């Protein structure tokens, strides 16, 4: 019965994404507002990889060539930004190249995909500060000035690119950088109760920890729900790639916090420590990221623990499927409604990365094996 349910959702996704290919055209999407149309954010933006990532997963799940044809060119478009002027390539090259070049090479053996993925891994590794043992976030801060000492929780999932590069090249330097960054984040970015900080700041000359900022969360000591999902997924994959139980225990702490903090419909508000819920928006993207992560975690723990994490994932995904999806809106280009970037931007919109992780999670429930994050 459960399997049939998710098979049906996969069929609905097949219809939805096929229709969206025609609607999308050549756009590089980030969000869709009330009109249901995705924006065209620019091919160097951090979310560029998620739409082609959806296409590659759908190709892998269905075998249909139109998905592959629509996805094929994207890693080449992204590679151009390594030689063109931009400040938008930074720690998020994992989000850009894992769902494009890396999955392309994984599924097809394409040598350009391999080369571009390694190029992106080299770029990410070059952002490592060996004094502070962290990968630098962004290039400039909100005021336009460089922030060489900032680290953000989002990068925990980007370091999957380095683990992949170690796997395909045999060079352990990629792995060691990823582990050092994870250790630093674990020490300074995760609270004892499993809640997460968004931005942590270091002295780039000495490596000394300075402070943390709220970032996209409500405040410095609040807990941005999507950041919690990024951290959860990142530590799960760090454990998968290293076998180091410290990272598994950290992932479990974050998972317990996330699950315990969910509201009745299992889809979080944009921050877990809001002063009031009145007028506050949900974040379906945080839900879909966490659901995909929890399915991973369920596959890594003993049998007696699988139900906790897998069951929570399915509750989240059923709520998204039945209460947040656009199945009855064929002209809507997104899959999920009610995503939120932060308390001040992209409020109650559809977010392409929310759609990506929803597709990823539903595909896992239908047997998908080609994990890239």
- CA–CA separation, 160 and 150 (whole Å): 19
143 is catalytic: no
Determine whether the annotation assigns residue 225 to a binding site: no
- CA–CA separation, 159 and 133 (whole Å): 13
Kindly state the DSSP code that residue 98 receives in the 8-state scheme: I
- Active-site hit among 60, 92, 271, 355: 92
Q: Which residues pair with 199 in a beta bridge?
A: 152, 213
Determine whether the annotation assigns residue 342 to a binding site: yes
Determine whether the annotation assigns residue 328 to a binding site: no
Strand ordering across the sheet containing 150-152: 150-152, 199-202, 209-213
- Active-site hit among 44, 154, 271, 283: 154
What single string gives the DSSP state of each residue in 173-227? HHHHHHHHHHHHHHHHHB-TTS-B-SEEEE-TTT--EEEEE-TTSSSTTS-BHHH
Q: Which residues pair with 202 in a beta bridge?
A: 209
Distance from the first to the final alpha carbon of the chain: 29
- CA–CA separation, 132 and 280 (whole Å): 37
154 is catalytic: yes
Determine whether the annotation assigns residue 92 to a binding site: yes
Q: How many residues does this entry show for the chain?
A: 373
Return the number of other C-beta atoms located less than 10 Å from residue 203's C-beta. 14
Determine whether the annotation assigns residue 60 to a binding site: no
Write out the catalytic residue numbers. Answer: 92, 154
User: Could you tell me which residues are annotated as the binding site?
Assistant: 92, 154, 226, 230, 342
User: Could you tell me which residues are annotated as the binding site for substrate?
Assistant: 92, 154, 226, 230, 342
């Amino acid at each position: 019965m459960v399997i049939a349910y998710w098979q049906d959702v996969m069929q609905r996704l097949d219809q939805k994404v096929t229709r969206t290919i025609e609607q999308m055209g050549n756009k590089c999407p980030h969000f869709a507002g009330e009109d249901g149309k995705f924006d065209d954010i620019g091919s160097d933006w951090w979310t560029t990889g998620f739409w082609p990532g959806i296409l590659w997963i759908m190709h892998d799940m269905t075998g249909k060539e139109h998905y592959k044809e629509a996805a094929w060119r994207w890693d080449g478009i992204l590679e151009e930004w390594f030689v063109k002027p931009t400040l938008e390539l930074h720690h998020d090259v994992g989000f850009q190249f894992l769902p494009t070049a890396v999955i392309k090479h994984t599924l097809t053996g394409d040598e350009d995909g391999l080369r571009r993925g390694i190029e992106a891994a080299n770029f990410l590794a070059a952002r490592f500060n060996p004094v502070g043992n962290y990968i630098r976030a962004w290039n400039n801060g909100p005021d336009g000035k460089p922030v060489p000492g900032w680290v953000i929780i989002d990068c925990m999932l980007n370091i999957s690119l380095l683990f992949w590069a170690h796997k395909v090249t045999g060079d352990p330097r990629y792995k060691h950088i990823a582990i050092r960054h994870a250790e630093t984040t674990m020490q300074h970015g995760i609270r004892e109760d499993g809640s997460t900080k968004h931005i942590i700041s270091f002295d780039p000359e000495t490596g000394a920890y300075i402070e943390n900022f709220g970032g996209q969360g409500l405040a410095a000591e609040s807990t941005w729900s999507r950041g919690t999902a990024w951290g959860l997924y990142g530590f799960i994959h760090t454990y998968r790639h290293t076998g180091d139980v410290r990272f598994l225990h950290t992932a479990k702490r974050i998972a317990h916090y996330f699950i315990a903090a969910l509201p009745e419909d299992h889809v979080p508000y944009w921050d877990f420590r809001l002063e009031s819920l009145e007028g506050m928006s949900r974040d379906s993207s945080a839900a879909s990221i966490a659901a995909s992560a929890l399915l991973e975690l369920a596959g890594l723990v003993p049998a007696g623990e699988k139900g906790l994490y897998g069951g929570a994932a399915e509750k989240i995904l059923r709520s998204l499927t039945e209460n947040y999806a656009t199945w009855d809106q064929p002209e809507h280009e997104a899959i999920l409604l009610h995503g939120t970037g932060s308390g001040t931007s992209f409020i109650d919109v559809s977010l392409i990365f929310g759609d990506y992780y929803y597709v990823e999670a539903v595909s896992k429930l239908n047997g998908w094996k080609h994990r890239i994050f």
